Amino acid sequence: MRGHPGHWAFLVHRVSGVLLALFLPGHFVALGAALEGEAAMDAFLAWTDRPLVKFGEWGIVLLLSAHLAGGLRILALEFLPWREGHKTMAALAAGVSLAVSLAFALALTR
């Protein structure tokens, strides 16, 4: 049912999973820089000090926390007794993922 909080939770979980999968090749490039030697890794780390990259790091943390919270919500739906509080579980998952990503963003400003 479109517009239902469960539908939105489903969409956030699926979209975050797809976007995380698209991030993996970039992560492998970073790991490859580490294998190429100290100079290549230092150059890559200098590149990551840019504000747009820092914003992207925050986005990755948001996606990871949203995907984790959505996965935990799904596990709760599968293994815990059925309850009426599914909207509350979806809101809790969204709140936790936003709080984690904001904590990470605040840590970036140090």
CB half-sphere exposure, 55, CA atoms < 13 A: 3
pLDDT at 23: 92
56-to-25, 45, 71, 76, 84 alpha-carbon distances in Å: 15, 14, 22, 30, 36
| Overall number of domains in the chain | 1
The residue to which tokens 């590149």 are assigned: 47
63-80 residue pLDDT tens: 998 898 888 888 877 787
pTM for the complete prediction?
Answer: 0.71
Q: What number of other Cβ atoms are within 10 A of residue 78's Cβ?
A: 7
pLDDT at 41: 87
pLDDT at 52: 92
Residue of 6 and 32 predicted with greater confidence: 32
Q: Which domain holds residue 87?
A: 5-108
pLDDT at 6: 76
14-67 residue pLDDT tens: 999 999 999 999 889 888 888 888 888 889 889 988 989 889 888 998 899 889
Task: For residue 77, give the CATH number of its domain.
Answer: 1.20.1300.10
Query: What are the helix (H) ranges across the chain?
Result: 5-36, 38-47, 51-79, 86-108
